[in-house]
């Protein structure tokens, strides 16, 4: 995959903590940020795919075993 450079502006304290985290994980700051960005992009793709599957299931509907016809009336259901 081709790499591109970007300019990123962060608050000084966040940058300091991110550098420290990168050192703890034996990564470069660039590598740490690239890994994080790849994870959130992949997670977003998975969420979108799951939402699409759920929408298709909702449109299809659930098989209630009635073959599309109710064997009861509203009054039957609300009978006291």
Task: Take residue 53 and report the two structure tokens written for it.
Answer: 């599957």
**pTM, whole model, 2 decimals?**
0.65
Using DSSP's 3-state secondary structure scheme, residue 35 falls into: helix
The domain limits of the chain are 32-61
Nearest-Å Rg of the Cα atoms of the chain is 26
Provide, rounded to the nearest whole percent, the portion of the chain with pLDDT above 90. Answer: 71
pLDDT category, 61, cuts 50, 70, 90? confident
The two most distant CA atoms of the chain are separated, in Å, by 71
Q: 36-49: per-residue pLDDT in tens?
A: 999 999 999 999 99
SS (H, E, C) 48-78: HHHHHHHHHHHHHCCCCCCCCCCCCCHHHHC
């Amino acid at each position: 995959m081709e790499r591109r450079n970007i300019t990123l502006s962060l608050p000084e304290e966040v940058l300091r903590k991110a550098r420290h985290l990168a050192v703890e994980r034996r990564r470069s700051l660039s590598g740490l940020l690239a890994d994080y960005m790849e994870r959130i992009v992949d997670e977003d793709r998975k969420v979108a795919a799951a939402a699409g599957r759920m929408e298709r299931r909702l449109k299809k509907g659930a098989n209630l075993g009635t073959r599309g016809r109710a064997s009861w009336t509203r009054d039957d259901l609300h009978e006291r």
